[in-house]
């Protein structure tokens, strides 16, 4: 299997050394070069990006929507202002003559890094030997392409936070057990809302022998959850919700299902990023929301809807630090390299991984 990525962190160096510009000068040049290359480049900006990056995005959205947007365009270069797994998904769905670029190769996802193919293969062997019942693997889209490929190879599917319930319902129509990775919280919250009790769910921890589980526990369980989690969404707690409800009963608390079970249970509502955005958008003027998700999105919603009171559930800055890595300076470096016909930080998924990942993605789209 070929390496997934072309380019290295050092690819930035020659361009950055030549570019001793102030932040303000970077913005000026970036606007100019983006206009020059408007027929060649499309910029995708994930919801969690900072405003000075989102300013240059031709399309805004979640990772899957952005990848789908790019695939329907004829522009040869796709610059994805997000993280590794998002750029990989864009490459999987893109046309053969399109090149996907990630402005900073250090922009990863801590949740996605909590599961790798070697660990999944090892866990799968143990689980298969522990039960005669069929286990259907489902991966959250927030994962590496190799894990998307795994579910494609093993009769499973991918899900997003928007369609997780629909995909999980399908999985149980195909088998008796579910392996859900890498985010334990989305899996637990979704399955519980479907009526599956917590005692029928177990956690597989790859840092422990056999995931910390016995064969008997695997055989008894209905849902096997991977240990992974989003560090940003663990910044929200049930105590924050309870305190706010007591002090501000006029405020509706809405959180992302990547938050832990107790927080989601205490909140008035929960849903995907798209769900949260639409909820705020459709609410009447004067509505008040405390939102449990990444701070850049919360602040942007507050700016876009000044007729409503919108603030973060947490008193602390719940910031996605890996998203934070993508800066206008690195975006400028990507544009300069394209202009010189020598693109840097190209994200390229190998053909075998792409084939099975696409199979899993298509299954999700078919079910959705």
Q: What is the CB neighbour count within 10 angstroms for residue 174? A: 13
pTM of the model: 0.90
pLDDT bracket for residue 45 (50, 70, 90)? very high
Per-residue pLDDT of 189-244, as tens digits, reads 999 999 999 999 999 999 999 999 999 999 999 999 999 999 999 999 999 999 99
User: Rounded mean pLDDT of 131-155?
Assistant: 97
The three-state DSSP-derived secondary structure of 280-310 is HHHCCCCCEEEEECCHHHHHHHHHHCCCCEE
Residue 145 has pLDDT above 70, yes or no: yes
The angle subtended at Cα 116 by Cα 193 and Cα 64, nearest 5°, is 55
User: Rounded mean pLDDT of 135-150?
Assistant: 97
User: Rounded mean pLDDT of 12-32?
Assistant: 74
What pLDDT shows up at residue 318?
76
What pLDDT shows up at residue 9?
39
| Structure tokens, 328 | 């206008």
pLDDT bracket for residue 10 (50, 70, 90)? very low
Q: What is the CB neighbour count within 10 angstroms for residue 321? A: 10
| Three-class DSSP category at 2 | coil
User: Rounded mean pLDDT of 254-259?
Assistant: 98
User: Rounded mean pLDDT of 283-312?
Assistant: 96
User: Rounded mean pLDDT of 21-40?
Assistant: 95
* Spatial contact of 187 and 225, defined as CB atoms under 8 Å apart: yes
Residue 34 has pLDDT above 60, yes or no: yes
For residue 121, give every residue at least 6 positions away whose Cβ sits within 8 Å of its Cβ, in sequence order, or none.
150
| Structure tokens, 133 | 């019942």
Residue 14 has pLDDT above 60, yes or no: no
CA-wise closest residue to 159 among 196, 186, 188, 192: 186
Residue 101 has pLDDT above 80, yes or no: yes
Rounded Cα gap, residues 260 and 292, in angstroms:
11
pLDDT bracket for residue 6 (50, 70, 90)? very low
Per-residue pLDDT of 224-239, as tens digits, reads 999 999 999 999 999 9
Distances (CA, A) of 274 to 88, 160, 297: 21, 11, 11
User: Rounded mean pLDDT of 111-136?
Assistant: 97
pLDDT bracket for residue 65 (50, 70, 90)? confident
What pLDDT shows up at residue 162?
93
What pLDDT shows up at residue 322?
74
Rounded to 10 degrees, the C-alpha dihedral 149/152/157/159 comes to 20
* Spatial contact of 192 and 222, defined as CB atoms under 8 Å apart: no
Rounded Cα gap, residues 354 and 100, in angstroms:
14
What pLDDT shows up at residue 263?
98
* Spatial contact of 68 and 96, defined as CB atoms under 8 Å apart: no
* Spatial contact of 292 and 233, defined as CB atoms under 8 Å apart: yes
What pLDDT shows up at residue 19?
54
Residue 339 has pLDDT above 60, yes or no: yes
Helix and strand numbers, DSSP H then E, in the chain:
17, 13
Residue 15 has pLDDT above 90, yes or no: no
pLDDT bracket for residue 46 (50, 70, 90)? confident
Q: 269-270 and 59-61 as β-strands: parallel, antiparallel, unpaired?
A: unpaired
β strands within the chain, DSSP E: 41-46, 59-61, 77-81, 99-101, 135-140, 157-159, 177-181, 201-204, 223-226, 252-255, 269-270, 288-292, 309-312
What pLDDT shows up at residue 135?
98
For the chain, which domains are there? 9-107+322-352 (3.40.50.10800), 112-229 (3.40.50.10800), 233-316 (3.40.50.10800)
Rounded Cα gap, residues 258 and 80, in angstroms:
23
Could you tell me what percent of the chain has a pLDDT over 90? 83
The angle subtended at Cα 305 by Cα 300 and Cα 311, nearest 5°, is 60
Mean pLDDT of the chain: 92
| Count of positions (residues) in the chain | 368
């Amino acid at each position: 299997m070929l390496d997934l990525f072309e380019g290295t962190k050092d690819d930035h160096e020659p361009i950055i050394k030549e570019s001793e510009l102030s932040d303000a000068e970077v913005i000026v040049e970036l606007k100019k070069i983006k206009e020059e290359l408007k027929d060649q480049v499309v910029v995708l900006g994930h919801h969690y990006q900072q405003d000075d990056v989102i300013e240059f995005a031709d399309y805004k959205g979640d990772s899957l929507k952005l990848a789908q947007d790019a695939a329907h365009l004829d522009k040869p270069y796709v610059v994805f202002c997000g993280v590794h797994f998002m750029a990989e998904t864009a490459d999987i769905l893109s046309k053969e003559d399109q090149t996907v670029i990630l402005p900073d190769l250090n922009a990863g996802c801590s949740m996605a890094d909590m599961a790798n193919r070697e660990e999944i293969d090892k866990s799968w062997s143990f689980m298969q030997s522990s039960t005669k019942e069929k286990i259907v693997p489902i991966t959250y889209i927030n994962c590496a392409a190799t894990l998307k490929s795994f579910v494609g190879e093993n009769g499973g599917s991918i899900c997003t936070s928007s369609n997780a319930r629909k995909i999980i319902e399908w999985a149980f129509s195909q088998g008796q057990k579910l392996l859900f990775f890498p985010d334990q919280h989305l899996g637990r919250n979704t399955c519980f809302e479907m009526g599956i009790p917590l005692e029928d769910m177990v956690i597989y921890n790859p840092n422990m022998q056999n995931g910390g589980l016995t064969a008997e526990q695997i055989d008894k369980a209905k849902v096997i959850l991977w240990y992974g989690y989003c560090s940003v969404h663990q910044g929200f707690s049930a105590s924050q919700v309870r305190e706010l409800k007591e002090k501000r009963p006029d405020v509706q608390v809405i959180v992302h299902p990547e938050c832990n079970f107790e927080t989601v249970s205490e909140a008035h509502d929960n849903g995907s990023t798209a769900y949260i955005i639409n909820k705020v958008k459709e609410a009447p003027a004067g509505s008040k929301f405390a939102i449990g998700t990444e701070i850049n999105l919360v602040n942007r919603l507050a700016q876009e809807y000044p007729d409503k009171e919108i603030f973060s559930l947490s008193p602390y800055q719940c910031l996605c630090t890996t998203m934070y890595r993508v800066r206008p300076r690195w975006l400028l470096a990507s544009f300069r390299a394209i202009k010189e016909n020598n693109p840097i930080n190209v994200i390229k998924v190998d053909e075998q991984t792409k084939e099975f990942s696409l199979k899993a993605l298509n299954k999700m789209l078919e079910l959705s």
